[in-house]
Structure 1
Amino acid sequence: MFMYQNPSFNYVLQADLVGGEGMRPTFFEMAAAQHLPASLRAALLYSLGVMAQRRPILHKVLDYSDEAFAALMLLLEAHSLRISDASFAEALYGLRRRSAVPSSESETVSNNRSNTEPVRLGAVSRRQRNLSVLFLVGLPFLKSKMEAMYNAQRGGALQAAFWGTGDADSVEMEISGDASRSTDQRLGNDATVLQQIRSRFLKLCVQIYPWIHASHEGLSFAYQLLYLLDATNFYTPALHILGIQVTRASGQEMMDASKQIVERRKREFERLRGPPILQTVQRGLLRTAYGFLDYAQSGLIAAVFIFKMVEWWYQSAEQRLTSPTVYPPPPPPPPPKVAKDGIPLPEDRTSCPLCLEKRTNPAMVAVSGYVFCYPCIYNYVNQYKRCPITLVSASEDKIRRLYYDA
């Protein structure tokens, strides 16, 4: 069978995936830059969790991990956009942001592709930088908080429904903490109103978060597919909304950016006023801050990588020396309790608790583990919807036939 393949399409697809051409980043470059903050966050949380085992004070940082990581990324993203017109991850991959709206200072950028015209891109404005920080830090922070509230609400609702204390769609979250419980009696009504508002807000998050998440993921997938097929120059909807295209930074652009950074910092040092001692202190603080920000990208990633390597090395060696070859079996679970109003167990273990005859065609109730005659337990569960011994709720589908009765 002969199948026709379009050579130009295959060429464009391979260029997008592997090496790329011109100033347009490849699909893998954009995907790596997009997923780097999430991977870095996971590595940092894991590292802090390991260190918190010996330094309990770090548990306070883990309790506010979303806020701490958002503050760190806010500092790094704002600094990176200010000095290189690129996000933290994009600067690490040698990318930079350009405004898709042409201006007087626009320059022509060619993708070096067949059947593509050169485009004119301008410099990123201050408004686009500020909105970029919002999309890079603010929206992921809100998404993580909504996801945490959704998981907590749904987890509590499912647990309540599992234990039979409520419905999964109508479980209300209670305000926790000693401060809320010790509120003054004069503010009792206000506390009740706040509790209702919080409960309704959590219910609203549970209802709308799946739709928001599905819409965001679907729209992002559509843009990434179009970017892969060279149908758009915007990798994400956020870049399209901001009117920003991501391109590769040339060597001359990096040299010019370095010169601009040196000149800007020199002017900032010249603007220092006050006594000589105060100027020396201010100059030292500025140099320390600039040094931290300049080496934060490579230093942060290198530190996490080194920590993971050292931990893996010592953990593997310790496991080889101390881990037993055969682990002991876990202890059996405690037997279910017989209800006060339930049917008593017969003295003969081979007898059915319902008919008190020797068991025939044995069957077990999965919610309790007790064994009966299959006709006896089926008729009882069908009528009373519970286990006759523990009185735990059960249904016909919880009855299990046994093919071997000890």
Structure 2
Amino acid sequence: MELSFIPSTYVSYPLTANWFQSSFVNKQTCFLIKKMAAQSAAHLTTSNVDKPSIFELVASHSLDSTFYPALKRIATYLGTINPERYGKILKHYDEIFLILNGIVQNYYLKKHGGSLSESFYGLTRYNLSSKHFSRRDHLMSLLILVIIPYLSRKLEIKMTKLKEKLQDEISTEDKYKLLGLYSYRSMKASFEFAQIIKYIMYLSGFSSTHSIQLMVARIGLRHSSYQEESFKLSDIFSGNVKLSTILSSLMLRGLEFGGFFLQFIQWWQDSSTSQKSIAQLPIPDPPILDQIANKYINICPICLQNFLIPTTLQISGYVFCYKCITKHLKKHQYCPVTNYPATMDDLIRIYDS
């Protein structure tokens, strides 16, 4: 019986099965081949198991992007019911969220090796070269999760204000600002297109990361092997579990399920909005005019003159001159009549038909 697979060193010898089994060298060769095949199979299996699906990554990103608008709605509600006490929270919301987000993300990166949303979906970060999560990776992750989103939101607000300003009048200096605005839009569109390409490369197996930011930082995501310390209700009463462990577990579970609840509420609102258009909603009755409203009929409450480019502040419903209200909001950020907290985003221009 001839063997069809033998090492190239012995290709000139027609060996039999009995001779092959008795050869010590060939036994060692077979052993090495089997060992290498087993290691290769184990490596492939581990890689496939550890690699998150694109749906998990997108869901994690979606959950992470829910916290900022959800908490801002709460801050807006508090600022509306009590402007004097909670108005400053809405005014400095971006900075407050920056601090809170930094504290939470730093804790999760330190304890779980991933962000809050990534830990919720059982994901952890690692360096693409060393396969470990180092101090450098920790700082780079904080930069990506906390600092860059904050700067991006600030830049977006500034560009929105610049766009509104350039709609009225364009001077020689504003032409350069307009060029910067178009450049910003082009770069943003290019980044979003590149991110789509990155998703396709990740799905096709040509990239280890799904994000451009993670690619630059040389950081990847994989399924976590971390198992949180579990305890039963009887362990709590018997004193076998530390109080700090119980409080930490409750706090983390509250944050994770709170984030999931916020995401569910956002989905519910988006679903309801898509099913009901504004045209189908009943038109509410106009509010009853009080003494303050009667005082400012057909005149701007700030300059007390006829409206010049009438603009309404949707927080309070009062109409002002465009220049008067924009100048006021840039300094004070509240309605000059009702003291409700407001920003430039709350202005609506009124055009005569």
- Structure 1 residue 126: Cα displacement: 0.5
Query: Which protein, 1 or 2, shows the higher relative CO under an 8 Å CA cutoff with sep ≥ 6?
Result: 2
Q: Equivalent residues in 2 for 1:6-405 (5 A)?
A: 22-56=49-83, 57-102=85-130, 122-158=131-167, 160=168, 166-167=169-170, 170-171=173-174, 206-249=181-224, 253-255=225-227, 258=229, 290=248, 294-295=252-253, 297-298=255-256, 300-301=258-259, 304=262
In structure 1, how many angstroms separate the alpha carbons of the residues matched to 2:203 and 2:171?
41
State TM-score, norm by structure 1: 0.47
Q: Judge conservation of contact 1:146–1:209 (CA < 8 Å) in 2.
A: no
| SS of alignment partner, residue 254 of structure 1 | coil
After superposition, the Cα gap between the structure-2 partners of 1:245 and 1:328, relative to the gap in structure 1 and judged at 3 Å, is: closer
The Cα RMSD (Å) is 4.0
Quote the sequence identity (%).
Answer: 20
- Structure 1 residue 82: Cα displacement: 0.2
Structure 1 stretches lacking a partner, 5+ long: 1-19, 103-121, 161-165, 173-199, 260-282, 312-323, 335-406
| SS of alignment partner, residue 247 of structure 1 | strand
- Structure 1 residue 237: Cα displacement: 1.2
In structure 2, how many angstroms separate the alpha carbons of the residues matched to 1:288 and 1:205?
52
After superposition, the Cα gap between the structure-2 partners of 1:41 and 1:248, relative to the gap in structure 1 and judged at 3 Å, is: same
- Structure 1 residue 148: Cα displacement: 0.4
In structure 1, how many angstroms separate the alpha carbons of the residues matched to 2:221 and 2:139?
16
In structure 2, how many angstroms separate the alpha carbons of the residues matched to 1:325 and 1:239?
47
After superposition, the Cα gap between the structure-2 partners of 1:326 and 1:221, relative to the gap in structure 1 and judged at 3 Å, is: closer
After superposition, the Cα gap between the structure-2 partners of 1:326 and 1:154, relative to the gap in structure 1 and judged at 3 Å, is: closer
Greater helix share, 1 or 2?
A: 2
In structure 2, how many angstroms separate the alpha carbons of the residues matched to 1:169 and 1:36?
44
- Structure 1 residue 124: Cα displacement: 0.7
- Structure 1 residue 209: Cα displacement: 2.1
In structure 1, how many angstroms separate the alpha carbons of the residues matched to 2:95 and 2:89?
9
- Structure 1 residue 207: Cα displacement: 4.9
Structure 2 stretches lacking a partner, 5+ long: 1-46, 231-241, 270-280, 288-297, 299-353
- Structure 1 residue 50: Cα displacement: 2.5
| SS of alignment partner, residue 22 of structure 1 | helix
| SS of alignment partner, residue 96 of structure 1 | strand
Q: Judge conservation of contact 1:76–1:88 (CA < 8 Å) in 2.
A: yes
State TM-score, norm by structure 2: 0.53
Q: Judge conservation of contact 1:95–1:248 (CA < 8 Å) in 2.
A: yes
Q: Judge conservation of contact 2:198–2:212 (CA < 8 Å) in 1.
A: yes
